[in-house]
Copies of this chain bind each other. A is one copy, B any other.
Amino acid sequence: MTARAGLTGRSIIAGWDGAGSGESVRAVDPASGQELNPEFEFVTEAAVDAAAVAAGAAFDVYRETSPAERAGFLERIAAELDDRREAIVDRACLESGLPRARIEGEHGRTTGQIRLFAREVRLGSHQGVRIDEAQPDRAPLPAPDVRQRHIGVGPVAVFGPSNFPLAFSATGGDVASALAAGCPVIVKAHNAHPGTAELAGSAVAAAVEACGLPGGVYSLLFGAGRVVGQALAAHPAIKAVAFTGSQAGGTALMATAAARPEPVPVYAEMSSINPQVVLAGAAAGDLEAFAAAYVGSLTLGAGQFCTNPGLLFVPAPAGGLVEAIAAAVAEQTGQVMLTAGIRESYHEGLARLEAAGADRGATGSDGESANAPAPVLFTATAAQVLESPDLQEEVFGSAGLVASYESMDELRAVLEALPGQLTASIHMTESDHAAAAGLVPVLERKAGRLIANGWPTGVEVNHAMVHGGPFPATSDPRSTSVGTLAIRRFQRPVCYQNFPPDLLPDAVRDANPLSLARRLNGEPQL
């Protein structure tokens, strides 16, 4: 392709401009409600097929790139994104309504995680090499030589969310981890930030070209989720799906993937209310500081984080803690939400909490934009939460529910009743540790990340992070969508039995030319 100087409104189909179907979408500035240029042309199903076939054709070449080549490609993507930083940040601010500092931070996180995956690819331990040498003299039968490595599963379809226009989008964590695993990627761009997606996607396309890789390694499609998205997830060349967004969207993709002639795995990150437990000692501390920290996390980014602390358990009586939190919420002003649709859902969520019997404990002020509704605090008892699934369900936005518990038994019972979560926090002092120890096993079963004395917003991108959890937090609790372990989602093991040395892939050769950590006859070796 010829390099794109700016926004064209055209999909990237394996390096070529995608032809439109006649339909299109414009981004909207959520603060003003104004439509933005250009129009983004929706692709046809034929274009989906072209992208998927090209991805399939690119797979064998791309998955056999050496660690140095693949890491170099990832680093080139990061460099291309840095080159486009100003344009990307400008457009992302405009399309998302998020503050510039947040978007600048997200840009840094995006390039940072791509570079982290590049280092991981160079290290190569994700290839999971195991060699069991032949035992020709073993009785009663000789043992064969068996060598295992992990390869990519094949082309991956990625669906990003509205709330991370960079870090989970066209060049986000799912894309980076799939590319690191050796899988071509096709991104269905989110229609709330198509311009951001095109600018970021162009960076990948430029890196593909600069590194001499097949164009099919990366495509970016504009289209309606129900048409283009479903056609993509159903395409036989697609071997895995990664999604971040609503439970309705995620379960629709799970159904599509399960109904294919060849079912494929879906990694959907969906819905989480992230329970926060305040134990007695913590409830007797500096209440105003605690309330300020909680409300800061609750309203961060207009509450539009999958890790938003939607449900806070406090001991009854809480000795002024609820009042302190209510006072802090009342002082908050609404921030611009990502889309008008999300704002409408937020209001529906507030109504749902009220209908389910929660009391409105405090309401902040609406922001200046029509799209910046006030944060709201609700209160209820833990017994009410235990009884009502509506009080256990996420409200996307700055809506907090504070639930008071009468005893540790009651607290444990309501935690047991909650569905799967991304995170759970315990707020405690030394004197609470024995009580906390009794909750940890419950929370381990419920969530992917357990936090002590901290708030769940802000997900560190490192090696140990788990951003995942049981359904409906995600569709697959055996994985994480943040951190280097995310590579594993897009790999499968293959073994080679009694292969002639010249036919073995480098990763499993005796001489270990790639210097990979491996297990030799069961013994771990660095």
Contact B130 A497 (CB under 8 A): no
Contact A497 B450 (CB under 8 A): yes
The interface-forming segment of A296-304, A397-405, A475-483 is A475-483
> CA separation between A17 and B485, bound complex, in Å?
43
User: Residues of A at under 8 Å CB distance from B?
Assistant: 59-60, 64, 105, 119, 123, 125, 128, 130-132, 140-141, 143-144, 146-148, 151, 153-154, 254-255, 258, 262-263, 265, 419-420, 430, 433, 436-437, 440-441, 444-445, 447-454, 458, 460, 462-466, 468, 470-472, 475-480, 484-485, 491-500, 502-503, 517, 519, 521-522, 524-526
Tell whether A478 pairs with B492 under 8 Å between CB atoms, given A433-B500, A503-B433.
yes
Tell whether A132 pairs with B441 under 8 Å between CB atoms, given A263-B254, A433-B502, A502-B433.
no
Tell whether A517 pairs with B522 under 8 Å between CB atoms, given A449-B497, A494-B444.
no
Chain B residues with Cβ under 8 A from A265's Cβ?
476, 478
In the complex, residue of chain B having the shortest beta-carbon distance to the beta carbon of A144? B460
Chain B residues with Cβ under 8 A from A491's Cβ?
478
Contact B60 A503 (CB under 8 A): no
Q: List the number of copies, as a whole number.
A: 2
Chain B nearest CB, measured from A153 CB (Å): 7
Contact B462 A132 (CB under 8 A): yes
Chain B residues with Cβ under 8 A from A466's Cβ?
148, 493-495
Chain B nearest CB, measured from A411 CB (Å): 16
Chain B residues with Cβ under 8 A from A498's Cβ?
451-454
> CA separation between A447 and B496, bound complex, in Å?
10
Chain B nearest CB, measured from A9 CB (Å): 35
Chain B residues with Cβ under 8 A from A441's Cβ?
60, 64
> CA separation between A67 and B50, bound complex, in Å?
51
Chain B nearest CB, measured from A237 CB (Å): 11
- A262 partner, pick from B262, B460, B462, B470, beta carbons under 8 A: B470
Contact A125 B479 (CB under 8 A): no
Pick 28 A–B contacts, CB within 8 A, sort by A.
A130-B463, A130-B464, A143-B462, A146-B462, A148-B464, A148-B466, A151-B444, A153-B478, A254-B263, A262-B419, A262-B420, A265-B478, A433-B502, A433-B503, A444-B494, A447-B494, A448-B492, A449-B495, A449-B496, A450-B494, A450-B495, A451-B497, A452-B500, A463-B522, A464-B495, A468-B493, A478-B492, A524-B526
Chain B residues with Cβ under 8 A from A519's Cβ?
463-464
Contact B462 A497 (CB under 8 A): no
Contact A148 B470 (CB under 8 A): no
Chain B residues with Cβ under 8 A from A462's Cβ?
132, 143, 146, 522
In the complex, residue of chain B having the shortest beta-carbon distance to the beta carbon of A449? B495
Chain B residues with Cβ under 8 A from A128's Cβ?
485
Chain B nearest CB, measured from A488 CB (Å): 8
Given contacts A125-B524, A148-B463, A437-B503, 5 further A-B contacts (CB under 8 A): A450-B499, A451-B497, A454-B497, A464-B519, A479-B492
Chain B residues with Cβ under 8 A from A493's Cβ?
448, 466, 468, 478-480, 485
Chain B residues with Cβ under 8 A from A130's Cβ?
463-464, 485
Chain B residues with Cβ under 8 A from A472's Cβ?
262
Contact A449 B499 (CB under 8 A): no
Among the interface residues A64, A130, A495, which one has the most CB atoms of the partner chain B within 10 A? A495
In the complex, residue of chain B having the shortest beta-carbon distance to the beta carbon of A257? B258
> CA separation between A470 and B499, bound complex, in Å?
21
Contact A465 B522 (CB under 8 A): no
Chain B residues with Cβ under 8 A from A262's Cβ?
419-420, 470-472
> CA separation between A414 and B447, bound complex, in Å?
45
> CA separation between A195 and B387, bound complex, in Å?
45
